[in-house]
Amino acid sequence: MTDTNQKRTTARSGTRGPHAERTAAMRQKLIEAAIQCLGKFGYGRTTLQRITDEADVSRGAFLHHFPTRANLMVAVAEYAAKAQTRYVRQGLPENSTPETRYHDITQATWHAMLQPTGLALLEILLGSRSDPEIGEDFREVVQNLEAFQRNDVWQVAQSLGIEDRQAVYTMVHLHQAAMRGLVLEYMYTGDLKPAERSVELLKSYKADLTAKLLGRRG
């Protein structure tokens, strides 16, 4: 009796396993297709049809996993935010000193925002102003990402002896806003060099502020 029950449980588990994997794979395929479309066409022209064409799936398959385009866009935003965090972490060597890590976060974040996931997140951010269907779910994704970035920088700043949390938070906010603007300009002009020079200036301002916060300057 026990053996029979175990076999039935195993069979049921095996059935759920592959189904869950197929579901996850299809969702991932649609998310990646949406990211490609956002990069190629922008938010407004990333239609359901273009996404299904890019993913090579039917409209029915799309709607089975994401009832609306807005649902997919929120899922893309969540995926992109996690990818951006991962990319930044991978860009910071584990054996680096706290001071090196603190300063390198800026460049790592800039590079993360230039990845397809970063561009997709910016496209959704811009498009959300005229798309009420995105709503609070998307705003929560962005707010959570921004809060994580602020706290991450603050944790490293504290290890250097910096005590002014608000100054660090304001600096991070400035960098977030400036980098979004620079990425937007790059998306429009296709010329990355002016943006790269501007990021270097941001890093210089950061170094000056850090020296001031540590009392190294008057």
Residue matched to tokens 């990319």: 87
Residue matched to tokens 């561009």: 119
Q: What is the pLDDT of residue 189?
A: 95
Domain 1-67 and domain 76-218, same fold? Reply is no
SS3 64: helix
Ranges of each domain in the chain: 1-67, 76-218
Q: What is the pLDDT of residue 15?
A: 47
Q: What is the pLDDT of residue 216?
A: 66
User: Which residues lie below 8 Å from residue 141, measured CB to CB, with a gap of 6+?
Assistant: 74, 77, 78, 81
For residue 5, how many other CB atoms are within 10 A of its CB? 9
Q: What is the pLDDT of residue 20?
A: 85
Quick: pLDDT tens for 172-183: 999 999 999 999
Angle formed by the axes of helices 98-113 and 135-160, nearest 10°: 150
Under-50 pLDDT residues of the chain: 1-2, 4, 6-15, 217-218
User: 76-218, what's its fold?
Assistant: Tetracycline Repressor; domain 2 (1.10.357)
pTM for this predicted structure: 0.86
CATH superfamily, domain at 1-67: Homeodomain-like (1.10.10.60)
